[in-house]
Amino acid sequence: MNSNELSLTELFVIESETQCRTLAEELIMLENQGATPERLETLMRAAHSLKGAARIVNYNHTVQLAHAMEDIFVVAQQQKKIPSRDKIDNLLAATDLLKRIGASGQEQDNTFKKEAHACLELLKQAPQGESPISESGERETSSAEDNNLNAPTGKRLDAERRMLRVSAENLNRLLGGAAEFLVASRQMRGFTDRLWNAHRHQRLMATALESLMVAYNADTDENFQRLQSMIEKGDQLLWDEIFEADRLERNDTQLAERLYGLALNCRMRPFADISGGLRRAARDAAQHLGRAVEVEIVGDATEVDRDLLEKLESPLGHLVRNAVEHGIEPAEFRRANHKAESGKLLIEASHTAGFLMIRITDDGRGVDIEALREKITARGLADAASVDLMDQSELLDFLFLPGFSLKKSVSEISGRGVGLDVVRSLAAESRGTVHVSTSDGGGTKFSLRFPVSLSVMRVLLFELAGEAYALPLARIERVVQCPASAVESVEGRQFFLHQGERIGLVNGAEVIGKTSGDTQHNEAYALILADDTKQFGVTVQRFMGEDNVVIQPLDPQLKQVHNVAAAALTENGDPLLLLDADDFLLSIKRINQAEEHKTIIFRGKAQTANRQRVLVVEDSLTVRELERKLITALGYDVDVAVDGADGWYAIRSGGYAAVVSDIDMPRMDGIELTRLIKTDSRLRDVPVIIVSYKDRQEDRNRGLDAGADYYLTKGSFQDEGLARALRDVLGEPEVE
């Protein structure tokens, strides 16, 4: 729906929301940072624009209030004075009333009439030292000034920046369709893989024919030569189709990603849309308590999903008021503890690793941990012995329980224990997390993390008890292969060493309440997850790669299913369950801390300690698995990395006898990976074998110039080329 299809009242609602937000934000800045000509001009312009819009729809009370506010700003401009605190209180109250009137679209309501009359009387009062507000009604403005106030200045509102009004439902449909197109576009990868398998069989046929010709001494037989020529032409045609399919796949994926990005941007709004309200909440709480608080907001331009932003406003407001009352101390207390009389409150919003991060930090007294222990015990939430054993992170989690509060009395701002539980509920509902940290006398920090998009998520797919599951990729610390020889058992619990840390290991099937069956052999695949203080390992049957999945909300009746956050569709259209990372981690911790639990049974022979390890770096799941199986069959141990960056992280841990790498990969390509390995004094002797689709001489030269020991094409898998290269650089593998 565009602006031409909206009624005048609907247009006024939009105008009112925008101008009231400007008034509220600039009034707070006026009080905290002082008056500037630009700020007073902005306030006067907002009030004047609101007055003009209200006059068009015959909202007389709004006209009078906006006119009275405009007069105050004009007087401030003329006298170059900041309105008194009482006057700013009245102006903010008038702004709140105008906002409610505008949102309701019902100015004639009797309640609004009474409030508007009372508010107008307060605005017309003249405090000491300020000029009285005129009773004449309209402030005279020239036609030129009116035109200047109402016109789109400086081509600011040109055609390219026109605002359109689109319903939330239509935006959701647009984003959902773009997300499904993004997933569907990547199904082409499966078709390309099938073409590659067809090419592999074609090469097998060619090899078999060559062997047959040698066996029958048929090199000059015309029929054999004709058949060989047909196979070679078919092979070339198939190879050309593989390249074309690969090109189409890349183009479709890029187009889908752009479309999804544009659709997602339509749903995004700047954090500034609610940050002004947070500044206001801090200001009102501080004034009510008689405290001085300086608020700093970082990241106003950070884009946030509009649905999430609307949900965030109330919980974040509670955190801000909570910080002022529970955290920021009275001025005399701060002076006695050598602190500035004015408390500091920092609100930050940013994008990090695909997540929206919001942090609220105060420099107040911090949470009284001993008082918290006593409160937990007094309420019977845990016995004293258990509470004494809890670390700070575990104790602070109790603050998020419904009805839990450290306040001894109820105030207008807090004390009923309602608020932090709402924050935790919002985080869980939005597949996010919330954590709190504190230090005695050093303040408290609340950190909230949410997915940037609530519709598509990058996940790691894996199998548990024969079924597919997924976890958000950003929540996984590391993926490892864990040989039986590396696992030790102590009093029924199993552990393994990873980067010098002893990590508890539990069976993933046991975590979700299923039996794993006969799936463990001489090694296990494990996910490493972490909370604020510790890492935990959980075994899975196998990894199925990374994927973008479309999130499908669960039916309300299924929302309380243990460990499950949502349903999802993979790029292939297959359904699976998306695990709740925090719930899943909590289940892992409980099993790990139990007196005994089912052990991970390794069957078969443990890996030989002196077998050489090869790292395969390849972004294609199909090619990666093919290379892994081929190299394992040769007698080497194999680890895999999904791209160059992951490979560089793995190779630095040491222990690899050779690296087999693709060239074209996201984040870091194979040429750069090779160059990094060969310029590192500790790694330069590790042989690197590049295996690529690219068979041009210039591509070979690039790889060899970067330091690669071998450059092979992916058609060499079946002709012993890779096997010969590995034996050449590593020697014959150990025979068991």
Residue 363's pLDDT is 92
Decide if 541 contacts 519 (C-beta within 8 A). yes
Cα separation values, 535 from 495, 501, 601, Å: 11, 9, 22
Higher pLDDT among residues 465 and 257, named by residue: 465
Over residues 237-253, the mean pLDDT reads 76
Residue 169's pLDDT is 67
133 pLDDT band, cuts 50/70/90, is very low
- CA–CA separation, 578 and 153 (whole Å): 50
State yes or no: pLDDT of 149 exceeds 80: no
Closest CA to 199 of 731, 553, 713: 713
Residue 104's pLDDT is 77
Closest CA to 328 of 370, 295, 279: 295
Decide if 296 contacts 345 (C-beta within 8 A). yes
Pairing relationship of beta strands 688-692 and 658-661 according to DSSP bridges: parallel
- CB half-sphere exposure, 61, CA atoms < 13 A: 25
Q: What is the CATH number of domain 170-268?
A: 1.10.287
State yes or no: pLDDT of 373 exceeds 60: yes
Enumerate the CATH 1.20.120.160 domain ranges in the chain, comma separated: 3-152
Whole-number percent of the chain with pLDDT over 90: 5
Cα separation values, 553 from 145, 204, 430, 455, Å: 53, 47, 11, 9
Give the tokens for residue 82.
């900041």
Q: Residue 212: left if φ>0, alpha if ψ -120 to 50, beta else—which one?
A: alpha
The H-assigned helical ranges of 568-720 are 581-593, 621-633, 644-651, 670-678, 697-706
Over residues 217-234, the mean pLDDT reads 75
Closest CA to 41 of 132, 145, 135: 145
Decide if 641 contacts 650 (C-beta within 8 A). yes
Summarised one tens digit per residue, pLDDT across range 435-480 is 899 988 889 999 998 877 666 677 888 988 888 898 888 778 888 8
Residue 347's pLDDT is 94
State yes or no: pLDDT of 362 exceeds 70: yes
Collect all residues with Cβ–Cβ distance below 8 Å to 311 and sequence separation of at least 6. Answer: 426, 429, 430
Residue 131's pLDDT is 38
- CA–CA separation, 242 and 244 (whole Å): 5
Residue 496's pLDDT is 80
Residue 167's pLDDT is 62
Over residues 91-115, the mean pLDDT reads 79
Q: Judging by beta carbons within 10 Å of its beta carbon (0-12, 13-18, 19+), is residue 93 exposed, middle or buried?
A: middle
Q: Give the SS3 label for residue 517.
A: coil
Higher pLDDT among residues 58 and 372, named by residue: 372
Most confident of 82-86, 313-317, 357-361, 608-612: 357-361
CA max distance for the chain: 115
CATH superfamily of this structure's domain 271-451: Histidine kinase-like ATPase, C-terminal domain (3.30.565.10)
Lowest model confidence (mean pLDDT) among 237-246, 306-315, 656-665: 237-246
- CA–CA separation, 575 and 566 (whole Å): 11
Angle at 141 between CA 138 and CA 142, to 5 degrees: 145
141 pLDDT band, cuts 50/70/90, is very low
Enumerate the CATH 3.30.565.10 domain ranges in the chain, comma separated: 271-451
- CA–CA separation, 613 and 653 (whole Å): 12
Handedness of CA 259, 264, 269, 271 (dihedral sign): negative
157 pLDDT band, cuts 50/70/90, is very low
Residue 553's pLDDT is 65
Over residues 17-25, the mean pLDDT reads 84
45 pLDDT band, cuts 50/70/90, is confident
Over residues 210-230, the mean pLDDT reads 73
Cα separation values, 1 from 5, 11, 166, Å: 6, 12, 5
Enumerate the CATH 1.10.287 domain ranges in the chain, comma separated: 170-268
State yes or no: pLDDT of 505 exceeds 70: yes
The H-assigned helical ranges of 57-142 are 60-79, 85-104, 110-124
| Neighbour count for residue 664 (Cβ, 10 Å) | 15
Lowest model confidence (mean pLDDT) among 120-124, 271-275, 569-573, 702-706: 569-573
Higher pLDDT among residues 312 and 234, named by residue: 312
345 pLDDT band, cuts 50/70/90, is very high
Higher pLDDT among residues 327 and 713, named by residue: 327
Pairing relationship of beta strands 658-661 and 613-617 according to DSSP bridges: parallel
Summarised one tens digit per residue, pLDDT across range 631-668 is 888 888 888 887 887 788 778 766 788 999 988 887 78
Residue 6's pLDDT is 59
State yes or no: pLDDT of 531 exceeds 70: yes
Among all chains, which residue has been given the structure tokens 């020991």?
A: 709
Angle between helices 670-678 and 697-706 (to 10 degrees): 30
Whole-number percent of the chain with pLDDT over 70: 78
- CA–CA separation, 414 and 325 (whole Å): 8
Give the tokens for residue 388.
């004494």
Mean pLDDT of the chain: 76
Over residues 291-302, the mean pLDDT reads 90
Cα separation values, 48 from 26, 62, 144, Å: 15, 11, 14
Enumerate the CATH 3.40.50.2300 domain ranges in the chain, comma separated: 613-730
* Secondary element (H or E) of residue 278: helix 272-289
218 pLDDT band, cuts 50/70/90, is low
Lowest model confidence (mean pLDDT) among 66-80, 323-337, 392-406, 491-505: 491-505
When computed from its CA atoms, the radius of gyration of the chain, rounded to whole angstroms, is 33
Residue 84's pLDDT is 80
Give the tokens for residue 408.
């001894």
Over residues 617-622, the mean pLDDT reads 79
- CA–CA separation, 689 and 677 (whole Å): 12
Over residues 395-420, the mean pLDDT reads 65
Over residues 379-383, the mean pLDDT reads 85
Higher pLDDT among residues 291 and 485, named by residue: 291
Enumerate the CATH 2.40.50.180 domain ranges in the chain, comma separated: 456-593
Number of helices (H) and strands (E) in the chain: give both, helices first: 23, 23
Decide if 612 contacts 733 (C-beta within 8 A). yes
- CA–CA separation, 295 and 346 (whole Å): 6
Most confident of 48-62, 163-177, 191-205, 671-685: 671-685
**pTM for this entry:** 0.52
Residue 493's pLDDT is 67
Higher pLDDT among residues 170 and 342, named by residue: 342
Decide if 535 contacts 550 (C-beta within 8 A). no
CATH superfamily of this structure's domain 456-593: CheA-289, Domain 4 (2.40.50.180)
- CA–CA separation, 470 and 569 (whole Å): 10
- CA–CA separation, 143 and 284 (whole Å): 39
305 forms beta bridges with 268
Decide if 493 contacts 503 (C-beta within 8 A). no
CATH superfamily of this structure's domain 613-730: Response regulator (3.40.50.2300)
State yes or no: pLDDT of 146 exceeds 60: no
| Class of domain 3-152 as given by CATH | mainly alpha
Residue 417's pLDDT is 42
